Structure 1
Amino acid sequence: MKLKERMPLLSRHEGVWEGYYRYYSPEGDKIDEHRSRLLCRFPSDDVYHQTNFYFWADGRKEVRDFPTKIEGNKIIFYTEVQGWAAEVPLDDFNRTVMLYWVRTNEDDLHLYEMIQLSDCGKYRSRVWQWFKAGKLLQRTLIDEQFITKDWASYENTQSAYDDVAQF
């Protein structure tokens, strides 16, 4: 069975997403924010690949690439981020994907992420909870809007902060 058939909710995320990442301390103080463009793609029947482009107002940019492996109904990340992503079968509304991951370049740091996709498929909200040595380190709130299913036209393009949609 093809990956899109095994993970139908995840397949609804395919395409280009743009939005904002906002980082907060455990006390609720904003630490940082930046715009984002994510390319979520299924380049073949059994492959999921994600590339994240981050843009700060001061001109800084960062690109993170996440090729994956598939194990059953889980996506496995194996780069500087190691962990998994899976649909939540207890969600009767089929809106929720959960992730667990660690950054291999930082000691004793792990994150849990919840992604909620709107029923219309145009919006998603994500929450990261970062834990260091078992204690909450920070939270990241991510608000995104679907741009297009045509991720291929966004590959290998150079964008800037002002090129990312504002909403």
Structure 2
Amino acid sequence: MSNIRLEMPVLARHAGEWVGTYTLVDITGKIIDQHQSHLSCQFPENSPYHYYQINRYTWENGKTEEHQFPATYQDQKIWFDTERIQGKAWEIDEATVILWFAYKQVPDMYLYEMIQISPDNNHRARTWHWFKNHQIYQRTLIQEKRVG
């Protein structure tokens, strides 16, 4: 049995259902895209994955997307390796998780995400910094609240 909940207590506080808004901006702050989200953060038992996240997105025009992110746990980090992405996440203090990931189909691009959870565990603020050729070119600003 994994010690993920004990060794990554900040990540463990994220278990549950989250809804929010993603706002994508360019480097001047101009909004490029905005959509609603519903994320499920799970710590499955009796599974090859120690962490499992499902992201569901909905746009005003009716477009929807769903992505699944299974992760394994080792060395106080969770590790993602799916057909779509490769990455890892780790804790840096009592409220913050850092995530690095890259899309496998875009080798010169990667992201850093900072995830802050509130002391009452009911609100999250997340910021993605998108890099291409090691230069930032856009950001995603995410505000979420726990719904379950």
- Secondary structure of 2:88 counterpart: strand
Q: Residue 44 of structure 1: SS of its match in structure 2? A: coil
Unpaired segments ≥5 residues, structure 1 = 149-167
Of Structure 1 and Structure 2, the greater strand share is in: 2
Aligned to 2:40: 39
Query: Who is 2:72 aligned against?
Result: 69
Opposite residue 30 of structure 1, the aligned amino acid is I
**Superposition RMSD on alpha carbons, in Å?**
1.1
TM normalised by structure 2 equals: 0.94
Q: TM-score, normalised by structure 1?
A: 0.83
3-state SS, counterpart of residue 16 of structure 1: strand
Tell me the equivalent position of 2:86.
82
Identity %: 41
The unaligned stretches of length 5 or more in structure 2 are: none
Report the counterpart of residue 128 of structure 2 in structure 1: 128
Give the Cα separation in 1 of the matches to 2:74 and 2:5.
Answer: 13
Match of 1:119 in 2: 119
Alpha-carbon separation, structure 2, partners of 1:3 and 1:97: 14
How many residues align? The count is: 144
Counterpart of 2:66, as a letter, is: V
Shift of 1:71: 1.3
Alignment of 1:14-33 (within 5 A): 14-33=15-34
Question: Runs of at least 4 residues of structure 1 off by over 3 A?
Answer: none
* Rounded Cα–Cα distance in structure 1 between residues aligned with 2:85 and 2:131: 14
Out of 58, 62, 69, the residue aligned to residue 59 of structure 1 is: 62
